[in-house]
Chain A
């Protein structure tokens, strides 16, 4: 039951429009710093573009996808009209206003501080205010998801919350809490300085606050993808979810352990104690657990689909899978990229291995593979799956859809594999150009060229994606029927309270944040003499 289709479509369209812009900027960046581009006479243009690319891809695009998908889940999984539609539109417009507000100073070169902010560098006040508005807009969505679930629970006492909604609400709580770190950094530290009320800032503390957000935000980006793995893929390929309980446990684990691990982003920082680095490192290892469980459950679910289709043998069933189904293709690509990206993540997680690749191009390669690859390709799949239900029109170009997914996969591999490699060679991040003519770094030139070519393949795929969706708006009308989610092999009738509610796990998440972040933050905040003069970028 999708009633507020316009609302959901608005979120998706805005998401994919800004995605298209940021993708174009990304491809340009890959090109301009590669040996096939010519050096920029104004390196600041690169950092401007980089700030826009990061801000849009990090804060705006995935947030809008999660929100639009969240509203769709709430209406279709709960079979209940969305409560608070007006608020939902308010949230949407806050994001629109915030994005515009943030992008104008970026475009003018007044906020080239990158999406990670990097105080004591300080950009234009409106950039930060814009980001705050985007986050506030998304918090409205968090509240609405919670309210809608609560209303449903009242109407269905004791009933098992549908898995899709359970996961969706878990994702929204994760986001609400993880955004608090960056919000504290912005509100308590950066905005007073950008507004001219203060002129010193504790850069070390700011990095700790940001690390609070920086890792769990990735899991927030990941949530729609995992929801699709569990609740869309099995249905789309004609199978069933292997285990509803395991799915719930995975989402709960994300909620609990995605958050208190962010300090692995500060392994190389001098302001964090070694003890806390170790604790965060250990918890980071734990976050691999829900992913490993997911890999098992989804592979098993896919196997069920294959066997239902007549697949036989130990591995023979793989051939029986519906490989011409875009959802199957997207899942396979996503898993391959998740596998490689996850292996890379295990390297980043350990202090010792991290030292050889910290802040090199390896890291950029890593998160592009995970986010741009494994996660975003499922965003595409979600959009393809939902589109007929949102527009009431058929997506006819199945072949084009397959080509688009293939191109995205190939593009991502061609882009990120050489990217990882030059990172191992020690190529630093975020430089506007490199002198590949110098013999010391000339060997990296070929890899960087491949990456840049991959960037254009991705751009082509991104354009195809938008064209497919746009054409879907004008295709012949069909009755797509009700939007449904996958059923489990053993569909639960009752679920233990702990696995049907979030309270316990949210409490645990907050408690772990206090144990893992409380002291480091208090310690830095109360130590005198750690604030340093702000450095205003673009000031003359």
Chain B
């Protein structure tokens, strides 16, 4: 037999090889697409075609379900890694003008003299998200809410880009640097707490999570407590409430004190 006859049925190996393979394929396909789907009494298919399509993996939109009413307003912001990723100089300029209103609390350089958050060099997505949430009522604050309520989408984006653009400066009242507490370094794995830095910048940044270095201790402590008690609930799908609830009050204090004592320039540079 020559190579030319390789792919003909006169070649025993071809016949056997292809035959057995095809037979296995047909048998397993019938079993996988027809027999097994109907052998599961707990699943209902409209007809054979539905069973075959489902087994083949034809994607379906999930059926609509009635969901319980949500009594309190939650965040409606959609955050992705491309949220506000490439600001223009004009946007930053417009943001600078708008930011004059914010300077009373957040400082003219974006560094607060009170216990408001320092915004200079904060991730743009963070400011963007919080302003949206203040505007929608998902987050409430007697001072902030009235400011946010009249902002347009573009103004929110401009402000976020402006503050993200500002250099990170030391806190207004720097305190001596504290050593890292365990809750910050390691988290508490079995309580479902990852190291703070895995979202808050020093290891990695989860879009929408702020870096915390040099922020007001009182502010951070209050926010952690508010998350823990679910008084604050604008974290999407409870991502921060899950963590804060699992923290002890000592851990909350230690984490707030530690971050407040850190200079902001140790946050890794922006990419």
Contacts and interface: CB of A to CB of B under 8 A. Distances in A.
Nearest to A505: B17
14 contacts: A43-B198, A273-B55, A275-B29, A275-B33, A276-B57, A282-B24, A503-B7, A504-B6, A504-B14, A523-B58, A533-B80, A533-B81, A539-B205, A540-B205
Contact of B21 (A39, A274, A431, A508): A508
Contact of B59 (A256, A277, A507, A530): A530
A503 B6 contact: yes
Interface in A496-540: 496-499, 501, 503-505, 507-508, 511-512, 515, 519-520, 523-524, 527, 530, 533-540
B57 A523 contact: yes
B73 interface: no
A519 B56 contact: yes
A411 B31 CA distance: 43
Contacts of B195: 43
Nearest to B268: A540
B153 interface: no
Interface in A331-357: none
Max chain B CB contacts within 10 Å: which of A278, A519, A527, A530?
A: A278
Given A199-B82, A503-B3, 19 more contacts: A43-B195, A43-B203, A199-B81, A256-B17, A272-B57, A273-B54, A275-B33, A275-B56, A276-B32, A277-B32, A282-B32, A435-B190, A441-B190, A496-B12, A501-B6, A503-B6, A505-B17, A530-B59, A540-B201
A498 B14 contact: yes
A324 interface: no
B63 interface: no
Contacts of A279: 25, 28-29, 32
B226 to A, nearest CB: 26
Interface string B1-31: 1110111000111100110010011001101
A272 B201 CA distance: 35
B143 interface: no
B41 interface: no
Interface residues on A, range: 35 or more
B256 to A, nearest CB: 20
Contacts of A41: 180, 185-186
Contacts, number: 141
Interface string B224-235: 000000000000
B52 interface: yes
B127 to A, nearest CB: 15
A504 B189 contact: no
A134 B205 CA distance: 31
A100 B3 CA distance: 44
Contacts of A441: 190
B271 interface: yes
B151 to A, nearest CB: 25
Contact of A533 (B52, B82, B268): B82
A352 B3 CA distance: 44
B37 interface: yes
A493 interface: no
B3 A497 contact: yes
A197 interface: no
B265 to A, nearest CB: 13
B114 interface: no
Given A283-B24, A508-B21, A540-B270, A278 B205 contact: no
B1 A497 contact: yes
B204 interface: yes
Given A41-B180, A43-B198, A274 B54 contact: yes
Contacts of B7: 503-504, 507
Contact of B3 (A276, A431, A501, A540): A501
A513 to B, nearest CB: 12
Interface residues of B, number: 50
A44 B201 CA distance: 12
A420 B127 CA distance: 47
A308 interface: no
B48 interface: no
Contacts of B28: 278-279, 282-283
A275 B55 contact: yes
Max chain B CB contacts within 10 Å: which of A43, A440, A496, A537?
A: A43
Interface in A226-267: 256
A90 interface: no
A361 B255 CA distance: 32
Contact of B11 (A271, A498, A507, A519): A498
A286 interface: yes
A332 B219 CA distance: 66
Interface in B223-271: 267-271
A245 to B, nearest CB: 11
Given A199-B81, A435-B188, A508-B17, A274 B25 contact: no
A507 B6 CA distance: 11
A285 B271 CA distance: 48
Nearest to B7: A504
B4 to A, nearest CB: 9
Max chain B CB contacts within 10 Å: which of A435, A497, A511?
A: A497
A44 B1 contact: no
A39 B267 CA distance: 22
A72 B243 CA distance: 58
Contacts of A496: 1, 12-13
A287 to B, nearest CB: 12
Contact of B186 (A199, A433, A527): A433
A438 interface: yes
Max chain B CB contacts within 10 Å: which of A498, A520, A524, A537?
A: A498
Contacts of A527: 59
Contacts of A524: 57, 59
Contacts of B271: 536, 539-540
A199 to B, nearest CB: 5
B178 interface: no
A441 B80 CA distance: 35
B269 A540 contact: yes
B149 interface: no
A483 interface: no
B103 interface: no
Given A274-B36, A505-B17, A520 B57 contact: yes
Contacts of A433: 186, 189
Interface string B43-60: 000000000101111110
Nearest to A274: B55
